[in-house]
Amino acid sequence: MRFAVNRRQAMLTIAAGFSAGALASAQSNIKAKIVIIGGGFGGASAARALRTLLPVADITLVEANATYTACPFSNLVLGTDRPMAAQQFSYAALSASGIAVITTRAQDIDPAARKVSLEDGSELSFDRLILSPGIDIRWGALEGYDPAAAERLPHAWKAGPQTLLLRQQLDALENGETVLMTVPEAPYRCPPGPYERASMIAHFLKTRKPRSKLIVLDRKDSFSKMALFKEAWAEHYPDHLEWRGAQDDGGIIRIDAENREVFSDFGQESGAVINVIPPQKAGIIAERAGVTDTTGWCPINAISFESTLQPNIHVIGDATIAAPMPKSAFSASLQAKICAIAVANLLGGRTPEATILANTCYSYTAPDEAISIAGVYSNAGGTFSSIEKAGGVSPLAASKAVRADEAAQAAHWFQTITDEAFA
């Protein structure tokens, strides 16, 4: 039995990203110091890819949390019986593979001196730094929404305690009370995420608080997979979900957390539970590294993922300006691998060259039905562009079997992408 478990672990390790294979001797000898900040899908996948590409390099991963809580599928924790434990992953396998995992917060970065200072006062020097800091909330950008307000009106846009808080509030909701969700303008983490969440909350209400209803107040008039979501909502949640776009005064500009009220230009709504998905920016360490621009996000060269503002610092994942490539776990995981190849090439004195990248995002519309969007991108010339006639969304008016197949594929994807990063 023990053998079987170890065998499975071995198989999962094998499946992860890059595997040790034939390495050019030049790479095998590179003893560079590489520091990676942020242990999500981007950072963990980058550390693993580099561990394989550069077997004798000094690779350090700095991550504030000992346990990672994944955002994809956390909407199912809100709306179904999916346990939070299914979202959580440790860094044990990374440590075992020779990556130095440091559980602390990176405080500051000195790009000129190539040093990272950590919360405990120690410093790490680097030849190349990879930032995968994810997002931070742009506190104050939505009037009235600050860290204290988030304890009453959870955003749950970083999975973890906020997810559980929102779920507890939904559990405590009286049958018949109203739930509100506010949605920001793009860009934000996971473009279809709010609408998957709306579906899962509506499912929760339909099955557990049938006289309650969710109202989604959106600052946009259109969104990712809109026709598909609206088709699913009309079928599954006609009495439990109402979406209002900017044209219908859905754009929320102010929050009163104390009284659980939200305000648009002309209107006001109140809810017993309010999920505020707030405006976002790159994780704060990116600002301290000097790799954010006036948008709050990080401009990069799309071939190398090197910051256009600071040499020797690369940025991957949600923090980057990579449109049309979306801020998704799939994107972060793939960008990590392409960035790792680029870093290995740069350290070996070679110039990284262009390739083709892709993305797939599944969204659940019901516990056993999902829809998807896919895209294929070129990074030629150092900027991302969509490859014409490729990508797109699931067909409208498809059979239950098509939706059920995509729900099963989504679950398989989650297993694979988390194995890639953590198993």
Partner 1 sequence: MRKAHICLALPALGLISLGACGGGPSAPNRSVQNLDANQIGVGASLSAACAGCHSHSSGAIVSLADYSEAHLIERLNWYKADVSGTTVMHRLARGYTEADIASIARHLSTQERPE
Which parts of 332-391 interact with partner 1 (CB under 8 A)? 333-334, 337-338, 341, 344-345, 348, 350, 352-358, 360, 372, 374-378, 380, 387, 389-391
Considering only residues 79-138, where is the footprint of partner 1 by CB under 8 A?
A: 96-98
Least Å distance, CB 110 to partner 1, is 31
Interface with partner 1 includes 227 (CB under 8 A)?
Answer: no
Cα distance between residue 189 and residue 327, in whole Å: 5
Would you say 188 or 362 has its CB closer to partner 1?
A: 362
Is residue 298 helix, strand or coil?
A: strand
Least Å distance, CB 45 to partner 1, is 10
Would you say 9 or 65 has its CB closer to partner 1?
A: 9
Interface with partner 1 includes 11 (CB under 8 A)?
Answer: yes
Considering only residues 134-163, where is the footprint of partner 1 by CB under 8 A?
A: none
Would you say 88 or 360 has its CB closer to partner 1?
A: 360
Residue 48 to residues 26, 36, 51, 180, 196, Cα–Cα distance (Å): 19, 11, 5, 40, 30
* In contact, 93 and 13? CB cutoff 8 Å: yes
Residue 88: in which H helix or E strand, if any?
strand 88-90
DSSP result, 155-204: ---SSSHHHHHHHHHHHHPPTT-EEEEEE-PSP-SSTTHHHHHHHHHHHH
Helices 400-422/41-53 angle, 10° precision: 60
Least Å distance, CB 99 to partner 1, is 9
Would you say 182 or 359 has its CB closer to partner 1?
A: 359
Interface with partner 1 includes 405 (CB under 8 A)?
Answer: yes
Least Å distance, CB 231 to partner 1, is 15
Helices 41-53/329-347 angle, 10° precision: 30
Interface with partner 1 includes 302 (CB under 8 A)?
Answer: no
* In contact, 133 and 37? CB cutoff 8 Å: yes
Least Å distance, CB 351 to partner 1, is 9
Interface with partner 1 includes 47 (CB under 8 A)?
Answer: no
Least Å distance, CB 381 to partner 1, is 9
Residue 357 to residues 302, 327, 360, 393, Cα–Cα distance (Å): 10, 14, 11, 17
Considering only residues 251-270, where is the footprint of partner 1 by CB under 8 A?
A: none
Least Å distance, CB 50 to partner 1, is 11
Contact region for partner 1 (CB under 8 A) — 233-241, 243-251, 267-275, 413-421?
A: 413-421
CB-based contacts of 332, cutoff 8 Å, min separation 6: 40, 41, 42, 45, 132, 316, 317, 318
Among candidate residues 216, 327, 233, the one with its CA nearest the CA of residue 277: 216
Least Å distance, CB 28 to partner 1, is 8
Among candidate residues 279, 228, 222, 273, the one with its CA nearest the CA of residue 248: 222
Would you say 27 or 308 has its CB closer to partner 1?
A: 27
Would you say 53 or 298 has its CB closer to partner 1?
A: 53
Interface with partner 1 includes 275 (CB under 8 A)?
Answer: no
Least Å distance, CB 326 to partner 1, is 13
Least Å distance, CB 213 to partner 1, is 32
Interface with partner 1 includes 306 (CB under 8 A)?
Answer: no
Considering only residues 202-221, where is the footprint of partner 1 by CB under 8 A?
A: none
Q: How many CA atoms lie within 13 A of 122 on its CB side?
A: 7
Cα distance between residue 259 and residue 349, in whole Å: 60
* In contact, 90 and 69? CB cutoff 8 Å: no
Interface with partner 1 includes 330 (CB under 8 A)?
Answer: yes
Largest Cα span, the chain: 67
Least Å distance, CB 100 to partner 1, is 13
Among 16, 241, 300, 316, contact with partner 1 (rule: CB under 8 A): 16
Would you say 68 or 237 has its CB closer to partner 1?
A: 68
Parallel, antiparallel or unpaired: strands 33-37 and 128-131: parallel
* In contact, 321 and 297? CB cutoff 8 Å: yes
CA dihedral for 224, 228, 232, 238, sign (positive or negative)? positive
Cα distance between residue 6 and residue 418, in whole Å: 18
Structure tokens at 23: 């390495």
Interface with partner 1 includes 23 (CB under 8 A)?
Answer: yes
Within a 10 A sphere around the Cβ of 12, how many other Cβ atoms?
Answer: 17
Would you say 246 or 402 has its CB closer to partner 1?
A: 402
Would you say 195 or 243 has its CB closer to partner 1?
A: 195
| Binding residues with partner 1: total (CB under 8 A) | 72
